[in-house]
Structure 1
Amino acid sequence: MARIFVFLLAFCLIAFGAWPYYGLYRLDQALSEPDASAIAPFVDLSAIQESYKARLSSGVDSMLPEADRTSVPGLEWLAKSLQQVGGQALDQVITLELVRSMLREAAIRATDERPAYFLAGVDYAFFASWNRFRVRLGEQTDATEVLMRLEGIHWRITDIRG
Protein backbone atom coordinates (compact mmCIF):
# COMPACT_ATOMS: atom_id res chain seq x y z
CA MET A 1 0.00 0.00 0.00
CA ALA A 2 2.87 2.36 0.81
CA ARG A 3 4.37 1.69 -2.62
CA ILE A 4 1.17 2.72 -4.37
CA PHE A 5 0.99 5.89 -2.30
CA VAL A 6 4.63 6.79 -3.13
CA PHE A 7 4.00 6.04 -6.82
CA LEU A 8 0.88 8.24 -6.88
CA LEU A 9 2.67 11.04 -5.05
CA ALA A 10 5.62 10.88 -7.47
CA PHE A 11 3.24 10.85 -10.45
CA CYS A 12 1.40 13.91 -9.11
CA LEU A 13 4.65 15.82 -8.55
CA ILE A 14 5.91 15.01 -12.03
CA ALA A 15 2.57 15.99 -13.57
CA PHE A 16 2.53 19.27 -11.62
CA GLY A 17 6.10 20.00 -12.72
CA ALA A 18 5.29 19.34 -16.39
CA TRP A 19 2.03 21.31 -16.33
CA PRO A 20 3.38 24.83 -17.08
CA TYR A 21 5.59 23.47 -19.86
CA TYR A 22 2.52 21.97 -21.47
CA GLY A 23 0.88 25.39 -21.09
CA LEU A 24 3.82 26.95 -22.96
CA TYR A 25 3.38 24.38 -25.72
CA ARG A 26 -0.32 25.27 -26.03
CA LEU A 27 0.54 29.00 -25.97
CA ASP A 28 3.01 28.43 -28.80
CA GLN A 29 0.24 26.84 -30.85
CA ALA A 30 -2.18 29.68 -30.03
CA LEU A 31 0.38 32.30 -31.10
CA SER A 32 0.51 30.74 -34.55
CA GLU A 33 -3.23 31.29 -35.02
CA PRO A 34 -4.23 34.35 -37.09
CA ASP A 35 -6.77 35.51 -34.51
CA ALA A 36 -5.43 37.22 -31.34
CA SER A 37 -8.33 35.87 -29.30
CA ALA A 38 -6.69 32.42 -29.52
CA ILE A 39 -4.28 33.46 -26.75
CA ALA A 40 -7.05 34.75 -24.44
CA PRO A 41 -7.10 31.61 -22.23
CA PHE A 42 -3.36 32.05 -21.60
CA VAL A 43 -3.35 35.77 -20.77
CA ASP A 44 -4.57 37.65 -17.69
CA LEU A 45 -4.96 40.99 -19.46
CA SER A 46 -6.01 42.93 -16.37
CA ALA A 47 -2.92 41.72 -14.46
CA ILE A 48 -0.65 42.81 -17.32
CA GLN A 49 -2.35 46.21 -17.42
CA GLU A 50 -1.95 46.61 -13.64
CA SER A 51 1.71 45.68 -13.87
CA TYR A 52 2.34 48.31 -16.53
CA LYS A 53 0.37 50.88 -14.48
CA ALA A 54 2.58 50.15 -11.47
CA ARG A 55 5.70 50.67 -13.61
CA LEU A 56 4.23 53.91 -14.98
CA SER A 57 3.47 55.07 -11.45
CA SER A 58 6.99 54.33 -10.23
CA GLY A 59 8.37 56.11 -13.30
CA VAL A 60 6.36 59.23 -12.53
CA ASP A 61 7.39 59.00 -8.88
CA SER A 62 11.06 58.84 -9.83
CA MET A 63 10.73 61.80 -12.23
CA LEU A 64 9.01 63.97 -9.64
CA PRO A 65 10.74 63.54 -6.27
CA GLU A 66 8.61 63.65 -3.12
CA ALA A 67 10.42 66.71 -1.71
CA ASP A 68 9.65 68.81 -4.80
CA ARG A 69 5.97 67.87 -4.80
CA THR A 70 5.24 69.62 -1.52
CA SER A 71 7.36 72.71 -2.22
CA VAL A 72 6.15 73.42 -5.76
CA PRO A 73 2.42 74.22 -6.01
CA GLY A 74 0.53 71.93 -8.40
CA LEU A 75 3.27 69.33 -8.75
CA GLU A 76 1.39 66.78 -6.63
CA TRP A 77 -1.69 67.28 -8.80
CA LEU A 78 0.43 66.90 -11.96
CA ALA A 79 1.90 63.61 -10.72
CA LYS A 80 -1.53 62.19 -9.90
CA SER A 81 -2.94 63.38 -13.24
CA LEU A 82 -0.08 61.79 -15.18
CA GLN A 83 -0.66 58.50 -13.39
CA GLN A 84 -4.42 58.59 -13.98
CA VAL A 85 -4.24 59.56 -17.66
CA GLY A 86 -1.43 57.09 -18.26
CA GLY A 87 -3.39 54.33 -16.55
CA GLN A 88 -6.47 54.98 -18.69
CA ALA A 89 -4.34 55.02 -21.83
CA LEU A 90 -2.73 51.71 -20.88
CA ASP A 91 -6.14 50.09 -20.50
CA GLN A 92 -6.89 51.00 -24.11
CA VAL A 93 -3.45 50.22 -25.52
CA ILE A 94 -2.67 46.90 -23.83
CA THR A 95 -4.90 44.45 -25.67
CA LEU A 96 -4.66 40.81 -26.66
CA GLU A 97 -3.33 41.91 -30.04
CA LEU A 98 -0.53 43.89 -28.39
CA VAL A 99 0.35 41.02 -26.04
CA ARG A 100 0.39 38.64 -29.00
CA SER A 101 2.70 40.92 -31.00
CA MET A 102 4.98 41.44 -27.96
CA LEU A 103 5.35 37.68 -27.54
CA ARG A 104 5.92 37.12 -31.25
CA GLU A 105 8.52 39.91 -31.44
CA ALA A 106 10.31 38.52 -28.39
CA ALA A 107 10.44 35.11 -30.06
CA ILE A 108 11.79 36.63 -33.28
CA ARG A 109 14.56 38.44 -31.38
CA ALA A 110 15.39 35.32 -29.37
CA THR A 111 15.81 32.78 -32.16
CA ASP A 112 17.23 32.54 -35.65
CA GLU A 113 14.58 30.03 -36.71
CA ARG A 114 12.02 31.20 -39.24
CA PRO A 115 9.18 31.11 -38.67
CA ALA A 116 10.07 32.05 -35.11
CA TYR A 117 8.23 29.73 -32.80
CA PHE A 118 7.70 30.89 -29.22
CA LEU A 119 9.19 27.71 -27.77
CA ALA A 120 12.31 28.05 -29.92
CA GLY A 121 13.07 31.38 -28.26
CA VAL A 122 12.78 30.10 -24.70
CA ASP A 123 16.17 30.26 -23.00
CA TYR A 124 14.98 29.58 -19.46
CA ALA A 125 11.70 28.35 -17.99
CA PHE A 126 11.26 27.29 -14.38
CA PHE A 127 9.18 27.78 -11.27
CA ALA A 128 9.67 30.96 -9.24
CA SER A 129 7.37 29.46 -6.59
CA TRP A 130 4.74 26.75 -6.54
CA ASN A 131 2.21 29.03 -8.31
CA ARG A 132 4.52 31.29 -10.33
CA PHE A 133 6.47 30.35 -13.42
CA ARG A 134 9.16 32.45 -15.08
CA VAL A 135 10.04 32.22 -18.77
CA ARG A 136 12.96 34.05 -20.38
CA LEU A 137 13.04 34.51 -24.13
CA GLY A 138 16.52 35.22 -25.43
CA GLU A 139 19.81 35.54 -23.64
CA GLN A 140 20.13 37.52 -20.43
CA THR A 141 21.44 40.72 -22.02
CA ASP A 142 18.51 41.18 -24.40
CA ALA A 143 15.85 39.02 -22.79
CA THR A 144 12.10 39.31 -22.53
CA GLU A 145 10.73 37.88 -19.33
CA VAL A 146 7.25 36.39 -19.25
CA LEU A 147 5.74 35.78 -15.83
CA MET A 148 2.96 33.26 -15.44
CA ARG A 149 0.73 32.54 -12.47
CA LEU A 150 -1.45 29.56 -11.68
CA GLU A 151 -5.05 30.79 -11.72
CA GLY A 152 -7.46 28.02 -10.93
CA ILE A 153 -6.27 25.17 -13.09
CA HIS A 154 -4.62 27.29 -15.81
CA TRP A 155 -1.22 28.93 -16.09
CA ARG A 156 -1.77 32.48 -17.36
CA ILE A 157 0.62 35.27 -18.34
CA THR A 158 0.47 38.07 -15.78
CA ASP A 159 3.43 40.22 -16.84
CA ILE A 160 5.81 40.78 -19.73
CA ARG A 161 9.08 42.60 -19.10
CA GLY A 162 11.79 43.58 -21.47
Structure 2
Amino acid sequence: MTRLLLFMALFVVVLYGSWPYYTIYRLDGALGAEDAQAIAPFVDLPAIRAGYKEQAGAALKGMMPDSSRGGESEPFVEWLAAGLRPLGEAALERTVTLDWVRYALRDAAQRATEQRPAYFMAGIDYAFFQSWNRFGIRLGSTEVVMQFQGLNWRVTALKDRAQDE
Protein backbone atom coordinates (compact mmCIF):
# COMPACT_ATOMS: atom_id res chain seq x y z
CA MET A 1 0.00 0.00 0.00
CA THR A 2 2.83 2.42 0.78
CA ARG A 3 4.43 1.69 -2.59
CA LEU A 4 1.18 2.63 -4.30
CA LEU A 5 0.94 5.87 -2.33
CA LEU A 6 4.56 6.72 -3.11
CA PHE A 7 3.99 5.98 -6.80
CA MET A 8 0.87 8.19 -6.84
CA ALA A 9 2.68 11.02 -5.05
CA LEU A 10 5.58 10.79 -7.51
CA PHE A 11 3.12 10.76 -10.42
CA VAL A 12 1.40 13.93 -9.11
CA VAL A 13 4.74 15.71 -8.65
CA VAL A 14 5.88 14.82 -12.18
CA LEU A 15 2.52 15.83 -13.63
CA TYR A 16 2.58 19.18 -11.80
CA GLY A 17 6.21 19.79 -12.78
CA SER A 18 5.53 19.21 -16.47
CA TRP A 19 2.29 21.19 -16.58
CA PRO A 20 3.81 24.64 -17.28
CA TYR A 21 5.93 23.17 -20.09
CA TYR A 22 2.80 21.72 -21.67
CA THR A 23 1.18 25.15 -21.34
CA ILE A 24 4.16 26.69 -23.16
CA TYR A 25 3.70 24.13 -25.92
CA ARG A 26 0.00 25.02 -26.23
CA LEU A 27 0.77 28.77 -26.09
CA ASP A 28 3.28 28.31 -28.90
CA GLY A 29 0.55 26.81 -31.06
CA ALA A 30 -1.91 29.58 -30.14
CA LEU A 31 0.63 32.27 -31.07
CA GLY A 32 0.71 30.84 -34.58
CA ALA A 33 -3.02 31.37 -35.03
CA GLU A 34 -4.28 34.38 -36.96
CA ASP A 35 -6.84 35.32 -34.30
CA ALA A 36 -5.46 36.92 -31.13
CA GLN A 37 -8.33 35.33 -29.18
CA ALA A 38 -6.47 32.02 -29.48
CA ILE A 39 -4.07 33.14 -26.73
CA ALA A 40 -6.83 34.38 -24.40
CA PRO A 41 -6.90 31.20 -22.25
CA PHE A 42 -3.15 31.57 -21.64
CA VAL A 43 -3.04 35.29 -20.77
CA ASP A 44 -4.21 37.21 -17.70
CA LEU A 45 -4.62 40.60 -19.35
CA PRO A 46 -5.67 42.50 -16.18
CA ALA A 47 -2.52 41.26 -14.39
CA ILE A 48 -0.29 42.34 -17.28
CA ARG A 49 -1.95 45.78 -17.33
CA ALA A 50 -1.57 46.08 -13.55
CA GLY A 51 2.15 45.33 -13.86
CA TYR A 52 2.65 48.02 -16.49
CA LYS A 53 0.53 50.44 -14.46
CA GLU A 54 2.79 49.82 -11.46
CA GLN A 55 5.92 50.38 -13.57
CA ALA A 56 4.52 53.61 -15.01
CA GLY A 57 3.51 54.81 -11.55
CA ALA A 58 7.00 54.15 -10.21
CA ALA A 59 8.56 55.99 -13.15
CA LEU A 60 6.22 58.95 -12.66
CA LYS A 61 6.93 59.01 -8.93
CA GLY A 62 10.67 59.04 -9.68
CA MET A 63 10.25 62.14 -11.84
CA MET A 64 8.22 64.01 -9.20
CA PRO A 65 10.01 66.30 -6.73
CA ASP A 66 9.97 64.75 -3.26
CA SER A 67 9.42 67.12 -0.37
CA SER A 68 10.75 64.52 2.10
CA ARG A 69 14.23 64.80 0.53
CA GLY A 70 14.43 68.52 1.06
CA GLY A 71 12.95 69.44 -2.30
CA GLU A 72 9.77 71.43 -2.52
CA SER A 73 6.80 69.76 -4.11
CA GLU A 74 4.93 72.22 -6.26
CA PRO A 75 1.14 72.02 -6.05
CA PHE A 76 0.82 72.53 -9.83
CA VAL A 77 3.09 69.58 -10.59
CA GLU A 78 1.16 67.37 -8.15
CA TRP A 79 -2.12 68.49 -9.70
CA LEU A 80 -0.79 67.80 -13.19
CA ALA A 81 0.38 64.31 -12.20
CA ALA A 82 -3.01 63.56 -10.63
CA GLY A 83 -4.71 64.69 -13.85
CA LEU A 84 -2.44 62.61 -16.08
CA ARG A 85 -2.88 59.39 -14.10
CA PRO A 86 -6.44 58.61 -15.41
CA LEU A 87 -5.34 59.43 -18.96
CA GLY A 88 -2.42 57.04 -18.64
CA GLU A 89 -4.68 54.30 -17.28
CA ALA A 90 -7.11 54.75 -20.18
CA ALA A 91 -4.23 54.65 -22.68
CA LEU A 92 -2.92 51.49 -21.02
CA GLU A 93 -6.34 49.83 -21.33
CA ARG A 94 -6.46 50.64 -25.04
CA THR A 95 -2.83 49.72 -25.75
CA VAL A 96 -2.26 46.51 -23.78
CA THR A 97 -4.61 44.13 -25.59
CA LEU A 98 -4.45 40.49 -26.63
CA ASP A 99 -3.13 41.63 -30.02
CA TRP A 100 -0.36 43.59 -28.27
CA VAL A 101 0.54 40.64 -26.01
CA ARG A 102 0.62 38.31 -29.04
CA TYR A 103 2.87 40.77 -30.89
CA ALA A 104 5.16 41.19 -27.86
CA LEU A 105 5.58 37.42 -27.42
CA ARG A 106 6.15 36.84 -31.14
CA ASP A 107 8.63 39.71 -31.29
CA ALA A 108 10.52 38.40 -28.24
CA ALA A 109 10.78 34.97 -29.85
CA GLN A 110 11.93 36.48 -33.14
CA ARG A 111 14.68 38.49 -31.43
CA ALA A 112 15.78 35.46 -29.37
CA THR A 113 16.24 32.93 -32.17
CA GLU A 114 17.58 32.78 -35.69
CA GLN A 115 15.07 30.09 -36.62
CA ARG A 116 12.41 31.19 -39.13
CA PRO A 117 9.55 31.07 -38.61
CA ALA A 118 10.43 32.06 -35.06
CA TYR A 119 8.48 29.73 -32.82
CA PHE A 120 7.99 30.79 -29.20
CA MET A 121 9.54 27.58 -27.88
CA ALA A 122 12.63 27.99 -30.09
CA GLY A 123 13.43 31.35 -28.52
CA ILE A 124 13.35 30.14 -24.91
CA ASP A 125 16.71 30.43 -23.13
CA TYR A 126 15.43 29.43 -19.71
CA ALA A 127 12.15 28.13 -18.29
CA PHE A 128 11.77 26.96 -14.70
CA PHE A 129 9.77 27.39 -11.51
CA GLN A 130 10.37 30.55 -9.46
CA SER A 131 8.05 29.23 -6.75
CA TRP A 132 5.37 26.56 -6.54
CA ASN A 133 2.84 28.79 -8.37
CA ARG A 134 5.14 31.02 -10.43
CA PHE A 135 7.05 30.02 -13.55
CA GLY A 136 9.66 32.18 -15.31
CA ILE A 137 10.52 32.09 -18.99
CA ARG A 138 13.40 34.00 -20.57
CA LEU A 139 13.43 34.75 -24.30
CA GLY A 140 16.58 36.74 -24.92
CA SER A 141 16.06 40.03 -23.10
CA THR A 142 12.36 39.43 -22.42
CA GLU A 143 11.12 37.81 -19.23
CA VAL A 144 7.70 36.18 -19.27
CA VAL A 145 6.08 35.19 -15.99
CA MET A 146 3.31 32.62 -15.72
CA GLN A 147 1.29 32.03 -12.58
CA PHE A 148 -0.91 29.14 -11.59
CA GLN A 149 -4.49 30.44 -11.50
CA GLY A 150 -7.40 28.15 -10.87
CA LEU A 151 -6.45 25.06 -12.82
CA ASN A 152 -4.31 26.78 -15.48
CA TRP A 153 -0.95 28.42 -15.95
CA ARG A 154 -1.38 31.93 -17.40
CA VAL A 155 1.01 34.69 -18.52
CA THR A 156 0.78 37.46 -15.92
CA ALA A 157 3.80 39.64 -16.72
CA LEU A 158 6.07 40.64 -19.59
CA LYS A 159 9.24 42.53 -18.85
CA ASP A 160 12.05 43.68 -21.10
CA ARG A 161 15.22 43.20 -19.06
CA ALA A 162 17.22 45.36 -21.50
CA GLN A 163 15.42 48.44 -20.15
CA ASP A 164 16.61 47.66 -16.60
CA GLU A 165 20.29 47.66 -17.57
Category of TM-score, reference length = shorter chain: over 0.9
- What is the alpha-carbon distance in structure 2 between the residues aligned to residue 14 and residue 99 of structure 1? 30
- Aligned counterpart for 2:81 among listed residues 79, 82, 107: 79
- Aligned counterpart for 2:142 among listed residues 138, 141, 144: 144
Show the counterpart of 1:60: 60
Q: Is the 8 A contact 2:65 2:73 kept in 1?
A: no
Deviation at 1:125, TM superposition (A): 0.5
Q: Residue deviations 1:43-85, cap 9 Å, x none?
A: 0001111110000100000011322885312221122222221
Q: Residue deviations 1:82-127, cap 9 Å, x none?
A: 2221111101110000000000000000000000000000000011
Q: Residue deviations 1:120-158, cap 9 Å, x none?
A: 0000001111111100002xxxx1000111110110001
Deviates more, 1:64-73 or 1:83-92: 64-73
1:113 match: secondary structure: coil
- Normalised by the size of structure 1, how large is the TM-score? 0.94
Q: Is the 8 A contact 1:132 1:147 kept in 2?
A: yes
Structure 2: gaps of 5 or more residues: 161-165
- Structure 1 stretches of 4+ with a deviation exceeding 4 A read none
- What is the alpha-carbon distance in structure 2 between the residues aligned to residue 69 and residue 90 of structure 1? 30
Show the counterpart of 2:31: 31
Structure 1: gaps of 5 or more residues: none
- Normalised by the size of structure 2, how large is the TM-score? 0.92
- What is the alpha-carbon distance in structure 2 between the residues aligned to residue 79 and residue 95 of structure 1? 25
RMSD: 1.3
Q: In the superposition, relative to structure 1, how do residues 155 and 69 fare at CA in structure 2: closer, same or farther (>3 Å)?
A: farther
Aligned residues: 158
Show the counterpart of 1:51: 51
